[in-house]
Amino acid sequence: MQIVVDLTRCQGYAQCVFLAPEVFQLHGEEALLYHPAVPAEQLERARQAAAACPVQAILLGEGVSAGGR
Ligand code: SF4
């Protein structure tokens, strides 16, 4: 499963970091790092993180891409 975070939307609320710390990490105030390929055992957490993101910046799916960025 692939994950893409639209970093132009992400406001660094860190809900995703809280819910899926193995997938998302915050570096500094607003720099979000994440693992684009989510391992199966992290999938449920990643889904919860996507649902919890206040700005819906997290896209989950097969073959999602950052749209050429
Ligand atoms: S929950 Fe959404 S806005 Fe907050 S850090 Fe994660 S991706 Fe960014």
**Dist. CA 57 → ligand 1 center (Å):** 6
**pLDDT given for residue 31 in this prediction:** 87
Per-residue pLDDT tens for 5-53? 999 999 988 999 999 999 999 988 778 999 999 999 999 999 999 999 9
Q: Which domains does the chain have, with CATH numbers?
A: 2-61 (3.30.70.20)
The Cα–Cα gap between 46 and 57 comes to 12
- Nearest-CA residue for atom 3 of ligand 1: 10
**pLDDT given for residue 66 in this prediction:** 62
Which numbered atom of ligand 1 lies nearest the CA of 6? 7
Q: Is the pLDDT of residue 67 over 60?
A: no
Best CA proximity match to 6, nearest among 29, 25, 28, 32: 32
- Nearest-CA residue for atom 4 of ligand 1: 13
**pLDDT given for residue 68 in this prediction:** 47
**pLDDT given for residue 4 in this prediction:** 96
Tally of CB atoms within 10 A around 32 = 20
